[in-house]
Amino acid sequence: MALAEKIQDAIERSSWIRKMFEEGARLKALYGADKVFDFSLGNPDLEPPETFRQALHSVIAESSSGAHGYMANAGYQETRAAVAAYVSQEQGVEVSAEHVVMTCGAAGGLNCILKTLLDPGDEVIVSAPYFVEYGFYADNHGGRIQVVSTREDFSLDLEAIEAAISKRTKVVLINSPNNPTGQVYDRHSLEDLGDLLRSSRSKLGRNLYLVSDEPYRKIVYDGVAVPSILESYPNSIVATSYSKDVSLPGERLGYLVVHPEADQADSLMAGIILANRILGFVNAPALMQRVVQHLQGTCVDVRVYQTRRDRFCQGLNDAGYEFVRPRGAFYLFPKSPIPDDIAFVRLLQEENILVVPGSGFGGPGYFRIAYCVDEQTIESAMPGFARAREGALSK
């Protein structure tokens, strides 16, 4: 076989979203795009705010000498300073530009972090359901994920995390607001998690790092606030992007922030900056760095996503589905009416509805709906959701 066995295996394990994408293309060709209701991809459909367009035009008009050349691998100093000032306010911990690295999205940031921290065989604890690519990111750098359960409402199960900590554990990785559940971990849980990780030092003889993946931080509802990881635990690192809150997923721009009081913070920063280069990213896109320097705190109109969430919740509730009302992000994670979530997703396909089985996120028995689609698609799909549930229960 020409492919590496590891990649062949990864293709098989990561295939659900790809399969849904391919099935969507097939169904749209057969029935027309307006007859297919695709909730499979977390690709934001809102256009970036007008302030982005204004900043982009302004930066292009400047066209200073050397604007498209190489830069310091951590990114432009002025952009890092702007990010640091904003993060200091957002997270409640004073951060300088020297603790910020501009990255190729949150995914690029997470890979740089794990490249820096993991030795072969080290473990990264993640709470299920979780974004499936976390496993591949850890494997990229010789590690592996250790999956633990969450509670019934998808909140953190600290007892499960504590039981999973071993001499091989190096990182606890959390994602809040969460993909795929929309759950937001509350301040009390994060403070308790911080206490747990502090207490683990005596058992391990070293500190664990807490890494928070936060691309949905600004997409929250009903007055919910996302607590600060940096306030909860000093050995923490935040990775995020402009993909969701500013609707710039194709621009591949994000950043990471290392807590200034983290163990070996200077060495950690040096390692991450080196990883940014040797992983092939070299540095984050230059043009977008100069643009987002002027956009700190900018976000799309979250009320649009909240309206869609509310309509979906109403429709699914009326149809008899069980689900935890999401507090953030733009996903719903309902319980499948039958134990086999994959079989139920196939029943939804018969209604030209595309969702992703929960098994693809380490959450069998559920399925994920991405509601970053227009309201008409949601409205038109509701009868099909009701029919699929009725059909599943009648068999």
For residues 319 and 196, membership in a common domain is answered with no
Q: What's the rounded mean pLDDT across residues 331-354? A: 96
Label the pairing between strands 356-357 and 367-370: antiparallel
357 and 335: one domain?
Answer: yes
Q: Would you state the pLDDT for residue 25?
A: 78
Number of domains in the chain: 2
132 plus 235 within the same structural domain: yes
The stretch 312-318 carries a mean pLDDT of 98
pLDDT higher than threshold 80 for residue 119 = yes
Using the 3D structure, point to which of 243, 259, 292 is the last residue of a domain.
292
> Minimal CA–CA distance to 331: which of 193, 168, 177?
177
Domain match, 136 and 229 both: yes
Whether pLDDT at 68 is above 90: no
Torsional sign, CA 295, 224, 210, 259:
positive
Pairing of the two strands 37-38 and 100-103: unpaired
What was the pLDDT predicted at 14? 66
Q: Contact 239/111 with Cβ under 8 angstroms? A: no
- Which pLDDT value is given to residue 259? 98
Provide, rounded to the nearest whole percent, the portion of the chain with pLDDT above 90.
86
Gap between the Cα atoms of 42 and 371, Å rounded: 8
pLDDT at position 367 over 90: yes
Do residues 312 and 271 share a domain?
Answer: no
Please state at what angle helix 105-117 crosses helix 265-278, rounded to 10 degrees. Answer: 120
Span of 90-99, 197-206, 260-269, 325-334 with lowest mean pLDDT: 197-206
pTM: 0.95
Could you tell me if 228 and 257 lie in one domain? yes
203-244 confidence digits (pLDDT tens): 899 999 999 999 999 999 999 999 999 999 999 999 999 999
One-letter amino acid for residue 143 of the chain: G
Residue 146: name the closest of 167, 127, 120 by CA: 127
Residue 12 scores a pLDDT above 80:
no
Question: Is the model's pLDDT at 33 over the cut of 90?
Answer: no
The per-residue pLDDT for 67 is 82
Average pLDDT over residues 37-63: 93
Residue-level pLDDT at 13: 67
Residues 200-212 have pLDDT tens digits of 988 899 999 999 9
Task: Using the CB atoms, write b or e for 183-207: b if 16+ within 10 Å.
Answer: bbbbeebbeebbebbeebeeeeeeb
Q: Helix (H, G, I), strand (E, B), or coil: what is residue 331?
A: strand
Q: What is the mean pLDDT of the chain?
A: 94
Q: Which range marks the domain in which residue 260 is found?
A: 50-292
**Is the pLDDT assigned to residue 30 strictly greater than 90?**
no
Ramachandran region, residue 334 (left: φ > 0; alpha: ψ -120 to 50; beta: rest)? beta
Which residues does residue 241 pair with via DSSP β-bridges, in sequence order?
254
Q: In this structure, are strands 37-38 and 353-354 parallel, antiparallel, or unpaired?
A: parallel
Q: What is the DSSP string of 222-259?
A: TT--PPPHHHH-SSEEEEEESTTTSS-GGG--EEEEE-
**260 and 311 part of one domain:** no
What pLDDT sits at residue 27? 81
Q: Is the pLDDT of residue 287 over 70?
A: yes
Domain boundary among 242, 263, 292: 292
pLDDT of residue 15: 63
- Stretch (H or E) spanning 175: strand 169-175
Q: What average pLDDT does range 40-58 have in this prediction?
A: 95
Residues 175 and 246 in one domain: yes
pLDDT category at 145 given cuts 50, 70, 90 is very high
Mean pLDDT of 124-151: 97
Nearest to 170 by CA among 134, 124, 111: 124
pLDDT of 373 strictly over 90? yes
Closest CA relative to residue 40, chosen from 356, 323, 364: 356
Last-in-domain residue among 264, 292, 320: 292
Average pLDDT over residues 126-130: 98
The mean pLDDT value for 292-316 works out to 97
Condensed to tens digits (0 to 9), the pLDDT of residues 343-357 reads 999 999 999 999 999
Residues 38 and 115 in one domain: no
Handedness of CA 111, 114, 115, 120 (dihedral sign): negative
State the pLDDT at residue 1. 61
Same domain, 149 and 201: yes
Residue 103 sits in the same domain as residue 231: yes
pLDDT at 292: 97
